[in-house]
Amino acid sequence: MSSLVDERTIELIEVFRQQFGAAPNFISRGAGRVNLIGEHTDYNDGFVLPVALKRDVRVALRPRQDRRVTVHSVEFGENGAFDLDAVRFDPDRLWLNYIQGMAQSLEQEGIQLVGIDAVVSGNVPRGSGLSSSAALEIASAHAFLIAAGKTGVLSGPRIAQLAQRAENKFVGVNCGIMDQFISELGRANHALLIDCRSLDYTLVPMPEDVALVIGNTRASRSLASSAYNERRAECEQGVALLQPLLPAITALRDVSSTQLEQHRDLLPENVYRRCRHVVSENERVLQCVDALQRGALEEVGRLMNASHDSLRDDYLVSSAALDAMVATMRSVEGCYGARLTGAGFGGCAVALVRIGCEQAVADAIFEQYPKATSIWPEVYVTKAADGAGAEAL
């Protein structure tokens, strides 16, 4: 039995039969992700350390003889369609734009696509900071490529770049490269160290005796987009103010903590604190990789805790809900460390947990978090999973 054929895929095949009257030929997958450490570093040319999740977006598909794309979304319960020669933003079906943008991006790369009939379904929670949009883009990329007989024509990093371009240029979301990169290139039982400047990447083995517990605060993220743009501007301001004395720098990636402290009087207090988070976070990512390779899990946990505290105190992107979630996770024996993951203001927190303690952390979340916030959370337990793929059925 092929690797992507499980109970979810079998259900998806049945939905495809109901929608299109025959069986699909292929299945593709794009993974959700959680970032272990390295938050708000990607747009500063820095380092990130995400893992791919078992939660994913899947596309069951059948090639067509024409250039028409017809898609049924299981979660949205609606159909969408477009012509590959007339791709236009659809204000009524926002989910379809990720698929359209991916098709356009592939064709701009010189890949001649064919039309498809497709059913798409995902179990990555939307709006939670686990990158459901990147998972949809990457699953769509592999669906189009396998339908056109173009599997293997593009490298994994290039597929990720084209997916980012689709989201930036077609959907209109100014995201970094991390989400698409890990969705495409993640591997089971490994984190992925990504250099967001060079796009060099290194698989980092995860110790066998740990799991990840993800707590979804289910709190509103209404401030996330405006604050994101504000933080980017503050980081750019910091670089501009530091460059006269540090002419070699082009991004905060190039600034050390020592240099920042030497020149902090050049920066307004708010800009200094944003810069301090990014500079120290880049250092924490590399320290975390070293600690994982040594199996120093207490050290990994300490770095994760320090990351959250920096995001809360210097970058000001945490929230009462996230702080409550993180405090609950940290209170449980067997939790090495916990931090918010994603842009902040809501979404999810992630904890590194000793195997056997996952349920205790989940139980604590369900008991303590609602009392602190009056919100019922969701909890997902996972190990690092494989990223994207596609195969014949």
236 Cβ contact partners less than 8 Å away, ≥ 6 residues apart = none
Q: Are strands 335-341 and 348-354 parallel, antiparallel or unpaired?
A: antiparallel
- Which position has the token pair 């490269």? 177
259 C-beta neighbours (distance < 10 Å), count = 15
79 C-beta neighbours (distance < 10 Å), count = 13
Q: Are 132 and 32 in contact (CB under 8 A)?
A: yes
Phi-psi region of 77 (alpha: psi -120 to 50; beta: other; left: phi over 0): left
Give the span between the Cα atoms of 189 and 210, in whole angstroms. Answer: 10
- Give exposure, 31-66, as e/b (b: 16+ Cβ within 10 Å): bbbbbbbbbbbbbbbbbbbbbbbbbbbbbbbbbeee
77 C-beta neighbours (distance < 10 Å), count = 7
Q: CA separation (Å) from 179 to 134, 148, 224?
A: 6, 25, 16
Give the span between the Cα atoms of 334 and 326, in whole angstroms. Answer: 14
Q: Are 213 and 361 in contact (CB under 8 A)?
A: yes
Give the span between the Cα atoms of 84 and 107, in whole angstroms. Answer: 9
209 is catalytic: no
Name the catalytic one among 179, 314, 323, 386. Answer: 179
Which helix (DSSP H) or strand (DSSP E) does residue 287 occupy?
helix 269-294
10 C-beta neighbours (distance < 10 Å), count = 9
Q: Are 200 and 49 in contact (CB under 8 A)?
A: no
Of 144, 63, 61, nearest in space to 99 by CA: 144
Cross-strand partners of 48: 194
Of 171, 15, 36, 183, nearest in space to 99 by CA: 171
Give the span between the Cα atoms of 238 and 279, in whole angstroms. Answer: 11
Active-site residue set? 179
